[in-house]
Amino acid sequence: VGATVCADKVDVADEAAMRNWIVSCDADAPLDRVFANAGVGTGIEDEANVRRTFATNVGGVVNAVLPAVELFRRRGAGGQIVITASIAGYGPLKSCPAYSATKACVKMWGLALRGMLRTEGIKVSVVCPGFVRSRITERNTCPMPFFMEADKAARVILRRVDRNVGLIAFPWPMRLASWGLSILPFWMNELVNRMLPEKVAAGRPKVL
């Protein structure tokens, strides 16, 4: 209530631009919570899209988090980082190799940062949502069980971020299924993956 909102357009893959923007935002009003929410879907797994996915989903998150941590450390007054990963980061998914890999990367990095930064009073939460309405899910052609509207997902995230929950993964049936898939022996994981539905993207041949 009563928040002042300022929107800017910045290339998250540009390290210098992101650092300058975050420092500028902090100068206007000291930051106490930073959401690193950069993310794109890969679509066709060609070289250009795979590189764009890694540059955005990993590089964009890193470029948001590191300057924020630096500012929090300099002030010595805590602060909170919230990194958006995905349920897709729980295991390798044949339908979206680059997307699942990048989300697994930021999930693990964020959870490790939480432990490392705890003694400095800096909080870190990692968000792993299932299917939530967005520009990414609007293009999905696969089934999306337990689909959630964005406002409902936002309420879930904020409640748990306020409680400093480390891993915020939802909805719980998706979290349970993804966790179960991730702990299977790889040959079983691979077998289950073969049975998962394909995402059909224009220009990508369907492979059985």
Residues with a known catalytic role: 99
Nearest to 36 by CA among 116, 121, 132, 105: 105
107-125 burial code (b ≥16 CB/10 A, e <16)? bebbbebbeebeeeebbbb
Amino acid at 136: I
CA dihedral 181, 186, 190, 193 (to 10 degrees): 20
Give how far Cα 62 sits from Cα of 36, 38, 81, 115, Å: 8, 10, 11, 17
- Residue 106, burial from CB neighbour count under 10 angstroms (0-12, 13-18, 19+): buried
- Residue 66, burial from CB neighbour count under 10 angstroms (0-12, 13-18, 19+): middle
Contacts of 181 (CB under 8 A, 6+ apart): 90, 91, 189, 192
Contact indicator for 78, 123 with CB cutoff of 8 Å = yes
Tokens of 47: 């070289």
